[in-house]
Amino acid sequence: MPIKQVDGPLLKAMVLEATRTLDANKEAVNALNVFPVPDGDTGSNMSLTMLSAAREVERAPDRTVGAVAQALAQGSLMGARGNSGVILSQLFRGFARYAADRTALDARDLARALQAGVETAYKAVMKPVEGTILTVAREAAQAAVQAARSTGDVIEVIEAAHRAALAALERTPELLPVLKKAGVVDSGGKGYTFILAGYLAALRARESQGPEAPVAGAPAVPAREAGRDASPATTVAFRVDEEISDIRYPYDTEFFIRGREIPLQAIAEQLNQMGDSVYVVGSPELAKVHIHTDNPGRVLDFCLRFGELIRIEIHNMREQHADLLARAGAAAADPPAASAAADPVPAPSSDPAASPAPAPNPVPDPPEAAASAVVAVAAGDGLEAILKSLGVAQVVRGGQTMNPSTQDLLEAIEACPADRVFVLPNNKNVILAAEQAATLSRKEVHVIPTRSIPQGIAALLAWQPDGDPEKTRQAMLRTLEEVQTGEVTYAVRDTTFGEMAIREGDILGIWNGQIVATGATPEEMVKAVLERMMAERPGEVITLYWGEGVDQQRAEALAEELRRLYPQCEVEVQYGGQPLYFYIFSLE
E-assigned strand segments in 259-409: 275-282, 286-293, 308-316, 372-378, 394-397
Class of domain 363-479: alpha beta
What CATH number should be reported for the domain whose range is 484-587?
3.30.1180
363 φψ region: left (φ > 0), alpha (ψ -120 to 50), beta (else): beta
What CATH number should be reported for the domain whose range is 245-326?
3.30.70
Instruction: Give 375's Cβ-side CA count (13 Å radius).
Output: 35
What pLDDT, on the 0 to 100 scale, is given for residue 488? 94
317 contacts 292 by C-beta, under 8 angstroms: yes
Q: Which of 264, 286, 310 is nearest to 97 (CA)?
A: 286
What pLDDT, on the 0 to 100 scale, is given for residue 19? 95
Rg (CA), the chain: 26
Model confidence, pTM: 0.71
**Separation of alpha carbons 50 and 72, rounded Å:** 9
What pLDDT, on the 0 to 100 scale, is given for residue 258? 82
**Separation of alpha carbons 302 and 279, rounded Å:** 15
Quick one: angle between helices 42-59 and 65-79, nearest 10?
140
250 contacts 294 by C-beta, under 8 angstroms: yes
Q: Choose which CATH entry (3.90.1300.10, 1.20.1090.10, 1.25.40.340, 2.30.33.40) describes domain 5-209.
A: 1.25.40.340
350 contacts 553 by C-beta, under 8 angstroms: yes
The stretches of 441-517 forming alpha helices (DSSP H) are 453-462, 469-479
* Mean pLDDT, 10 residues at a time, the chain of 588 residues: 91 96 92 70 90 91 91 92 92 95 96 96 87 96 97 97 97 90 89 97 88 56 37 27 54 83 86 80 73 89 90 74 47 38 32 46 52 93 92 87 87 92 94 92 94 94 91 94 92 76 88 89 95 92 91 94 94 91 94
547 contacts 380 by C-beta, under 8 angstroms: yes
Phi, psi of 475, deg, nearest 5? -65, -40
**Separation of alpha carbons 293 and 290, rounded Å:** 10
Domain boundaries of the chain, sorted by first residue: 5-209, 245-326, 363-479, 484-587
The one-letter amino acid at 127: K
What pLDDT, on the 0 to 100 scale, is given for residue 223? 37
